[in-house]
Amino acid sequence: MESPGDLKPKLSIIVPALGGYRATLAAIDSWEAQSCRDQLEILVLCPKTRDLGPIPDGQILVETDGMDLHEARSAGVRNARADYVVLAEDHCLPDRGWAQAVLNRLAEGWDVVGPALRSGNPVSSWTQASFLLGYSQWMAPIEAGPALVLPGHNAVLRKDLLLAMDSELERELLVAAFLLRRLRRQGHRFYLENQATMRHFDPAKRVRSLRIFVSVGLGFGALRTDSRGWIGRALYSLAAPAIAFRHWQRAAIHYRRAGAEGGLGPGCLLAAVPLALAWGLGESVGALMGVDRVTPLVSQAEIKPVSKSDACLK
């Protein structure tokens, strides 16, 4: 007779813990608390696994010592047993019914299912602005339905689509938004499930937030211009103000759609200006640096685990 641990899970949750297992417990615990926990496996990407002691059943430690985040996520995908994987973040926590809502939708045959998000710490205009710039397109409240664009992280993807990328997978995971765009170009079907709700936490310190958006921009700029020659990349690097405006404009459009209902104040639009400029600056510099040189900087910006005390905020 098969034990529960022998049964194939329906979802593999890939949780990065490059800041350490214990530092990532808020995220890990939120996945442990899912209403259909018995249908999930949780893969924890951890640099050191030998001294952790016993961990809960259903968790798998994937040792990532020396890996950048995109490399660690690739290892997680290759170790996953389920047919669908979640590229989770250490600072984005699912509500208890998230996985069940996603599984209900996957049963209909969708290739990628994305969540609805809200700010986990809307304690200032600064944290609200960070969330708005990064996730406004999927900010709750939002209607469920087929989607053209979904977030690169915290969405559920068919594992075989990722494995088919073979040696290209690591590079595609550097900025997962580009991975989703590739899947969309290939004709795969996207769905936004508004019952799969999550809280996204953003740093409260301004300098750190600015650095993070510069790093995000580095990855976007390098990948957007990767196929261009030096002239094209140099010209793109001059477009920082226009790039920044596009990011801010997108945030403003979605603020009008759902910002007030989502708990965001109008002051976040002003706070979003320097963050959008940081993103635009990062894209300009990234275009000049190229993918190989920006890779370690992009990975470092994604490691920002939320504390258990902050996770108690509602």
Pick the closest to residue 97 from 215, 197, 228, 28 (CA basis).
Answer: 197
Instruction: Report the C-alpha gap between 37 and 100 in whole angstroms.
Output: 9
Residue-level pLDDT at 5: 55
Task: Compute the radius of gyration of the chain from its Cα atoms.
Answer: 19
List residues bridging with 197 in a β-sheet. Answer: 116
Determine how β-strand 11-16 pairs with β-strand 84-87.
Answer: parallel
Cβ-based neighbours of 294, under 8 Å, separated by 6 or more: 218, 219, 221, 222, 286
Pick the closest to residue 62 from 86, 34, 81, 43 (CA basis).
Answer: 43
What are 269-273's contacts with CB under 8 Å, separation 24+?
269/129, 269/132, 270/125, 271/124, 271/125, 271/126, 271/128, 271/129, 272/129, 272/132, 272/133, 272/248, 273/248
Residue 163: φ, ψ to 5°: -65, -30
Cβ-based neighbours of 89, under 8 Å, separated by 6 or more: 16, 27, 153, 154, 200, 302
**Measured on CA atoms in the order 267, 273, 275, 279, is the torsion positive or negative?**
positive
4-120+138-201 placed in CATH 3.30.70.1400: no
Instruction: Give the start-to-end residue ranges of the domains of the chain.
Output: 4-120+138-201, 206-301
Q: List the pLDDT tens digit at each of the 314 positions of the chain.
A: 445 556 899 999 999 999 889 999 999 999 999 999 999 999 999 997 777 778 888 899 999 988 999 999 999 999 999 999 999 999 999 999 999 999 999 999 999 999 999 999 999 999 999 999 999 999 999 999 999 999 999 999 999 999 999 999 999 999 999 999 999 999 999 999 999 999 999 999 999 999 999 999 999 999 999 999 999 999 999 999 999 999 999 999 999 999 999 999 999 999 999 999 999 999 999 999 999 999 999 987 888 999 888 888 66
